[in-house]
Amino acid sequence: MTGKQFTSVWLREPRKATSPGLSREEIVRASIELLDAEGLAGLSMRKLGAKLGAGATSIYWYVAHKDELLELVYDEVWGEMRLPEPEDVGWRDAASTLAYSMRQVMLRHPWSADLLGRLPALGPNAMRVASGMRRMFRMAGFEGMDVDYAGSTLTAYVYGKTLPEIAWNTSMSAHEYDPDEMRNMVVTAARDYPDMLEGLDMSAYDDVSAIQAVAFDFGLVSVLDGLERRLPA
């Protein structure tokens, strides 16, 4: 018994543009604009064709279906991530730059969070980041499988901290909650836990993004400190 055959847009040679057809780059760029404006639910071949002023034939020349189109835009997102040469800046600074860059890219394209684990990251940009991250942790001194474990630890932290932030931003944008009402709600919910209220800065609800950025920084430094302690003496 054989399983379902795995397919990916990255596992075949890319088709060249046919004149006067659209280029793959134009299709990917327009798709990202639609996704940024309307999210995953707002992307369809019909809408994309209308935005491009072209029929679906031009799109299907490059991709077999919508998931393959998403693979292309997903890799474009990876292309926005910065990873400096660890030999130039040191492994910790390289890891910090990648982590902050990854967070900013996800916040800039919140729909990309829904593609994590759903689509394979096999494109050239994703491969560049993955290879650079392995080189970075090897340079730090990790060996064998620990190189991959260190990489998955870093990315898991970024994803785990950023996904709730995206959900919060989406909820706040959709409902436009009043900061005063939010503060009152927290005070009411925590009325039986004075120790929580004592250390809670209620003015943070006026600029939640600043608190989230500080929390991300605290956690990232802690993660890198922990990884550094695991390095061979």
R_g (Cα) of the chain, nearest Å: 22
Q: Which residues of 44-58 are buried (b: 16+ CB within 10 A; e: fewer)?
A: ebeebbeebebeeeb
Confidence at 21, pLDDT banded by 50, 70, 90: low
- pLDDT at residue number 1: 54
Secondary structure of 116-158 in HEC code, one letter for each residue: CCCCCCCCHHHHHHHHHHHHHHHHHCCCCCHHHHHHHHHHHHH
Least confident of 52-56, 96-100, 119-123, 149-153: 52-56
- pLDDT at residue number 190: 81
Cα separation values, 110 from 28, 42, 74, 121, Å: 17, 13, 12, 17
How far is the C-alpha of 152 from the C-alpha of 156, rounded, in Å?
Answer: 6
- pLDDT at residue number 232: 84
* 79 contact partners, CB below 8 Å, separation of at least 6: 125
Helix axes 146-175, 124-140, angle to 10 degrees: 130
Confidence at 201, pLDDT banded by 50, 70, 90: low
Mean predicted confidence (pLDDT) in 1-24: 74
Q: Quick check: 79 pLDDT over 90?
A: yes
Catalogue all structural domains in the chain, each as residue range(s) with its CATH number: 9-77 (1.10.10.60), 82-229 (1.10.357.10)
How far is the C-alpha of 54 from the C-alpha of 64, rounded, in Å?
Answer: 17
How far is the C-alpha of 197 from the C-alpha of 192, rounded, in Å?
Answer: 9
CB neighbourhood size of 107 (10 A): 16
Helix axes 208-229, 146-175, angle to 10 degrees: 170
How far is the C-alpha of 186 from the C-alpha of 190, rounded, in Å?
Answer: 6
pLDDT, tens digit (0-9, with 9 covering 90-100), for 22-50: 888 999 999 999 999 999 999 999 899 89
Structure tokens at 120: 């394979």
How far is the C-alpha of 196 from the C-alpha of 210, rounded, in Å?
Answer: 20
Cα separation values, 11 from 3, 8, 75, 106, 156, Å: 18, 5, 14, 25, 26
pLDDT, tens digit (0-9, with 9 covering 90-100), for 89-98: 999 999 999 9
How far is the C-alpha of 66 from the C-alpha of 68, rounded, in Å?
Answer: 5
